[in-house]
Amino acid sequence: MSRLFELPNIIARRIRGTPPAERTAYLTRDRVYILPTAAGLLFALAVLLMLLGSINYGLGLGFALTFLLAGVGVTAMLLTHRNLAGIEIHANDAQPVFAGESATFTVHLRNGTGVGRLSIQLCSLGAPIRDAWSDVPAYSTQTCPVHVLAARRGTLHLPPLRISATFPLGLFRAWSNIDVTARCIVYPALEPRTSPASPSAPEAAPGNGHHSGDDFAGLRAYAHGDAPARIAWTALARGAGMVTKQFDGEDDAYAWVRWSDVAPHLQTEAALMRLARWIVELAREGRAFGFDIPGCSRAPEAGPVHVHVCLSALAHFRSQE
pLDDT tens by residue, 256-312: 899 988 887 889 999 999 999 999 999 888 888 889 999 888 888 888 999 999 999
Record the pTM: 0.71
More confident residue, 244 or 149: 149
Q: Is it the case that residue 248 has pLDDT exceeding 60?
A: no
Establish if 215 belongs to a structural domain: no
Co-location of 68 and 168 in the same domain: yes
Count the helix, strand and coil residues of the chain and give each as a percent rounded to the nearest 5: 30, 30, 35
The rounded mean pLDDT for the chain is 82
Q: What is the pLDDT of residue 227?
A: 62
Average pLDDT for 57-63: 91
CATH at residue 65: 2.60.40.10
- pLDDT confidence bin for 194, thresholds 50/70/90: low
Number of compact structural domains in the chain: 2
Domain boundary among 141, 158, 187: 187
Judging by DSSP bridges, how do beta strands 154-157 and 216-221 pair with one another?
Answer: unpaired
Task: Give the per-residue pLDDT at 203.
Answer: 37
Pairing of strands 289-293, 296-301: antiparallel
Of 10-14, 143-147, 223-227, which one has max mean pLDDT? 143-147
At which of 187, 212, 237 does a domain end?
A: 187
Asked, for residue 300, whether it belongs to a domain, the answer is yes
Where on the phi/psi map is residue 94: left (φ > 0), alpha (ψ -120 to 50), or beta? beta
Q: Which residue has the higher pLDDT, 125 or 126?
A: 125
When pLDDT is cut at 50, 70 and 90, the band that residue 206 belongs to is very low
Residues 280 and 181 in one domain: no
**86 occurs within a structural domain:** yes
Give me the count of residues in the chain. Answer: 321
Which of the residue ranges 1-5, 99-103, 197-201, 261-265 has the most confident prediction, judged by mean pLDDT? 99-103
The mean pLDDT of 132-145, rounded to a whole number, is 90
- What are the backbone angles phi and psi of residue 126, rounded to the nearest 5°? -130, -90
CA distance 187 to 298: 18
* pLDDT of residue 207 exceeding 50: no
**What is the helix (H) or strand (E) element at residue 243, kind and residue range?**
strand 243-247
What digits encode the pLDDT tens for the residues 32-44? 999 999 999 999 9
Q: Give the pLDDT score at 224.
A: 56
Q: Are residues 87 and 170 in the same domain?
A: yes
Are 89 and 164 contained in the same domain? Answer: yes
- Among 187, 208, 225, where does a domain finish? 187
Helix axes 38-57, 60-82, angle to 10 degrees: 160
Residue 266, domain extent: 251-315
Answer yes or no: is 294 within a domain.
Answer: yes
Structural domain contains residue 40: yes
Same domain membership, residue 288 and residue 155? no
The residue among 2, 4, 19, 7 whose CA lies nearest residue 176 is 19
CB atoms within 10 A of CB 257: 23
d(CA 92, CA 184): 9
pLDDT of 266 reads 86
Find the mean pLDDT for residues 233-257.
67
Inside any domain, residue 236? no
Rounded Cα distance between 210 and 247, Å, is 10
User: Which residues make Cβ contacts (< 8 Å) with residue 190, sequence separation at least 6?
Assistant: 98, 273, 276, 277, 280
Residue 241 located in a structural domain: no
Q: What's the pLDDT band for 138 if we cut at 50, 70, 90?
A: very high
d(CA 237, CA 29): 64
Q: Are residues 61 and 133 in the same domain?
A: yes
Question: Quick check: is 8 in a domain?
Answer: no
- Min mean pLDDT across 179-193, 199-213, 230-244 is at 199-213
| Alpha-carbon span 83 to 173, nearest angstrom | 10
Predicted confidence band of residue 49 (pLDDT cuts 50, 70, 90): very high
**pLDDT band, residue 192 (cuts 50/70/90):** confident
**Residues 275 and 257 sit within 8 Å (Cβ to Cβ):** yes
Q: Quick one: 167 and 78 in the same domain? A: yes
Question: Is it the case that residue 136 has pLDDT exceeding 90?
Answer: yes
Same domain, 180 and 34: yes
Residues 45 and 150 in one domain: yes
Shared domain for 51 and 123, answered yes or no, is yes
25 and 168 fall within a common domain: yes
Lowest mean pLDDT among 147-151, 154-158, 243-247: 243-247
Instruction: Indicate whether 181 and 52 sit together in one domain.
Output: yes
Check whether 98 has a pLDDT greater than 90: yes
